[in-house]
Amino acid sequence: MVASLFADTPTAAAGFFAAAGVPALPPLTLGTVLAVMATALLVFVSVGVIYLSTVEWRDRRRRRSPAARS
């Protein structure tokens, strides 16, 4: 009974998106997956470097301030 309820769900969803003018997604290839992973890793590393640089800059300012010397 449950299987018959969901048997036509992908077709209905594809029909809905096609009627709305949304183009179909191309199939995932190994190159596409690797490109997405490389981009995500690049963003992750870049954000980490910016964060660590900012923390180090704030710490350097704190160590140089006169209030920290007393």
pLDDT tens digits along 14-51? 677 777 888 887 888 999 999 999 999 999 999 999 99
Q: What is the DSSP string of 23-69?
A: PPPPPP-HHHHHHHHHHHHHHHHHHHHHHHHHHHHHHHHHHHSHHHH
- In 3D space, the residue among 58, 44, 16 whose CA is nearest the CA of residue 68 turns out to be 58
pLDDT at 9 over 70: no
Contact 29, 36 (CB under 8 A): no
pTM of the model: 0.57
Domain ranges, ordered by start, for the chain: 2-69
